[in-house]
Amino acid sequence: MRKIALTAALGLVASPAFAATGPFFSTGNTNFIVLLAFLLFIAILVYFKVPGLIAGLLDKRSASISSELDEARALREDAQKLLASYERKQKEVQAQADRIVASAKGEAADAAEQAKADLETTIQRRLKAAEEQIASAEQAAVREVRDRAIAVAIAAAQDIIGKQVAGDKASSMIDSSIDEVKARLN
């Protein structure tokens, strides 16, 4: 950058000197007048402290850029902290969801086992109830057959005794036999 500025300055200074005719330090030489105007312009800029103002503006701009960069860094750090916090919370939520799923699976397995046990208990109760009904029906059938056999035996005995014994004696014997059979059966 310095080389370019130096080359440009030497080129500007040297080329008017070669192009002008006559003495350089005279008011008739336009190159000399332009040089004086340029130096006057630079002096006015220095007098009104324009380079200082420009440097101050550039310093202010540099400071504002620096503060914006610091703020951006702080925002970035906050964003990274927030991201880490959300990632940590997401991991915690995922772990909690995994625990809930595992717990639900365990409870489902326990419920299935309990349902199997309950079903087996129900089946055993129903089998026992059916066996009891069958036994009760069997006892009822045996009683009915016995009662029927008794009734047939009584009728046969009555018929046989009626043929062998006549009249009042037969009636009293039948009644006593019936009472005796009832007493033995009960």
Structural domain includes residue 87? no
Alpha-carbon distance 134 to 2, whole Å? Answer: 120
Task: Tell me what pLDDT residue 134 has.
Answer: 94
Whether the predicted pLDDT of 14 surpasses 70: no
* pTM for this entry: 0.39
Structural domain includes residue 167? yes
Structural domain includes residue 153? yes
pLDDT band, residue 113 (cuts 50/70/90): very high
Q: What is the mean pLDDT of residues 147-175?
A: 75
Q: Which of 30, 48, 66 is the last residue of a domain?
A: 48
Q: Which of 29, 48, 67 is the last residue of a domain?
A: 48
Structural domain includes residue 26? yes
Alpha-carbon distance 154 to 160, whole Å? Answer: 10
Task: Tell me what pLDDT residue 19 has.
Answer: 53
Structural domain includes residue 111? no
Count of the separate structural domains present in the chain? 2
Task: Tell me what pLDDT residue 166 has.
Answer: 63
Structural domain includes residue 115? no
Q: Which of 29-33, 46-50, 159-163, 174-178 has the highest mean pLDDT?
A: 46-50
Q: Which of 14-18, 66-70, 160-164 has the highest mean pLDDT?
A: 66-70
Structural domain includes residue 25? yes
Structural domain includes residue 75? no
Alpha-carbon distance 165 to 175, whole Å? Answer: 13
- Write out the residue range of the structural domain in which residue 16 sits: 1-48
When comparing pLDDT for 116 and 165, which is higher? 116
Whether the predicted pLDDT of 73 surpasses 70: yes
Q: Which of 48, 69, 84 is the last residue of a domain?
A: 48
